[in-house]
Amino acid sequence: MKQIITFTTIILLVVGTGCGGGEQSTNNYITIDVTKSYPKKELILQDFMDVEYIVLETNDEFVTQGIVLAIGKNFIIVKNQVRDGNIFIFDRNGKGVRNINRIGQGPEDYTNISGIVIDEDNGEIFVNDEFAKKIMVYDLSGQFKRNLPHVDDYQYRNEIYIFNNNSLICKDASFDSDEANKKAPFVIISKQTGSIINDIQIPYTKKIIPAVTFTIEMNGNSMPVGAGYVYFPIIPYHDSWILTEASSDTVFRYFPDGNKIPFIVRTPSIQSMNPEVFLFPRILTDRFYFMQTTKREYNEEIRKAFPTIELAYDRQEKAIFETTVYNDDFSNKRIVDMKRETIRDDEVAFHDKIEAYELMEANEKGLLKARLKEIAEELNEEDNPVIMLVKHKK
């Protein structure tokens, strides 16, 4: 009997700040030709961003795999890769504050942690449970406050962020699973009830789902495989949001008053390409707009789906480059992963984690500099990961 195997390649976009501008400044958007070959450019992260390293406290109560889900002004919220239900709250210096675990089947529990939003102004955390189709709201001590069910046939994954004091902005994951789905891809929901306050339509001609199918050999059998390229389509950006729908030729900037304007326009049209080449914004800084092109194909020779190219629009030079970014705190040109989770913080653009053993090995080889070297000399292999916060220069 044939079996169906599905796996997902997750692309995480990350938050950034900066002003608009680009090749077509009179229209306040930039145009990217996804078929062109652009000159290559190497960048040093510290030349245009500030980097801070947070050593997460390690003790019997705070042992974590360091998956950062939320960063606030005062707290960092972390979970484990395994589904054990633990939510670790650290302060911004890395000191453990509290461990919350409300996993269970009760009306005040979650069965899974798909994403977390922290609302420090109101002292609340929103825990999205994708499988149970609900958002559980707790105070910062872990006390249950209310349950926000996903509306009707909508389903939210980890694309949930604070929109304003009264509402959240979400991406409907079910929108990408059905080519005939005519719902709006983005919705704004009430923080108090979960009801939809507004939906945000993105224009396109025909829905194009970023997925490919192919066959693999397993145990002597040919098996059909589906690979979906899941991207983070919401990027907090100053007082607005950058919204990306894979089927559309335009990436929009959406404002709190409901105004929506073009931010990036791709060419040629995604509707005219076969195979399609998608354009996904990633990190937005004062100097650079980082993006990624993703081709909808599977390469049989190297057994890889969705080949990608990293691009950056340089606002100063008004030019587009194929880029590689390096962390200057490593002497061996360590490449920076520019596709971490989107975190709503006006200071932090994105984050990464570095395992303690990895830092220790790099230090033994003489590859570390400055503060990172000092940190590594105080670590042992069982310590929690070190969190790298990449912040906009002041």
325-346 residue pLDDT tens: 999 999 998 999 887 655 666 7
Query: Considering only CA atoms, which of 22, 156, 48, 68 is closest in space to residue 384?
Result: 68
107 preceded by a cis bond (ω within 30 of 0): no
**Does residue 96 have a pLDDT over 80?**
yes
Q: What angle do CA 123, 339, 50 make, to 5 degrees?
A: 70
Reported as a single tens digit per residue, the pLDDT across 376-393 is 999 999 999 999 999 998
User: Which whole-number Å values give the CA distances from 133 to 13, 150, 154, 269, 279, in the listed order?
Assistant: 23, 5, 8, 35, 29
pLDDT band (50, 70, 90) for residue 127: very high
What is the CATH number assigned to the segment(s) 9-392? 2.130.10
pLDDT tens digits, 156-188: 988 899 999 999 999 998 877 666 567 899 999
Angle made by CA atoms 295, 301, 306, in degrees to the nearest 5: 20
User: What is the rounded average pLDDT of the residues 215-236?
Assistant: 79
**54, 173, 207, 236, 391 from 375: Cα distances, Å:** 9, 40, 49, 31, 19
Q: CB–CB of 109/82 below 8 Å? A: no
Residue 340: DSSP 8-state: P
Contact 263, 253 (CB under 8 A): yes
Distance of CA 199 to the CA centre of its chain: 21
In percent, the amount of the chain with pLDDT more than 90 equals 73
Q: pLDDT for 362-375, tens place per residue?
A: 999 999 998 999 99
Q: Quick one: tokens of 91? A: 């302060």
pLDDT for the residue 222 = 77
Determine the Cα–Cα distance for residues 309 and 323; give it in Å rounded to an integer. 9
Three-state DSSP at 52 gives strand
Contact 159, 203 (CB under 8 A): no
| pLDDT of the residue at 220 | 75
Q: Using N-to-C axis directions, what is the helix angle for 356-364 and 370-377, rounded to 10°?
A: 110
At 228 the pLDDT is 79
Average pLDDT in the chain: 88
What is the rounded distance in angstroms from the CA atom of residue 340 to the CA atom of residue 109? Answer: 28
User: How far is the C-alpha of 300 from the C-alpha of 141, rounded, in Å?
Assistant: 51
Q: Is the pLDDT of residue 224 over 90?
A: no
Q: Which residue has the higher pLDDT, 51 or 178?
A: 51
67 vs 270: CA distance, rounded Å: 34
For tokens 């190497």, name the residue: 42
Q: Is residue 212 very low, low, confident or very high in pLDDT (cuts 50, 70, 90)?
A: confident
Which band of pLDDT confidence, cut at 50, 70 and 90, is reported for residue 204? very high
- pLDDT tens-digit series, residues 259-317: 999 999 999 999 999 999 999 999 999 899 999 999 999 887 777 889 999 999 999 99
78 or 222: which leads in pLDDT: 78
Q: How far apart are CA 192 and CA 176, in angstroms?
A: 27
Q: What is the pLDDT of residue 180?
A: 59
Q: Compute the average pLDDT of residues 144-167.
A: 92
Average pLDDT over residues 228-252: 90
Asked whether the predicted pLDDT for residue 254 surpasses 80, the reply is yes
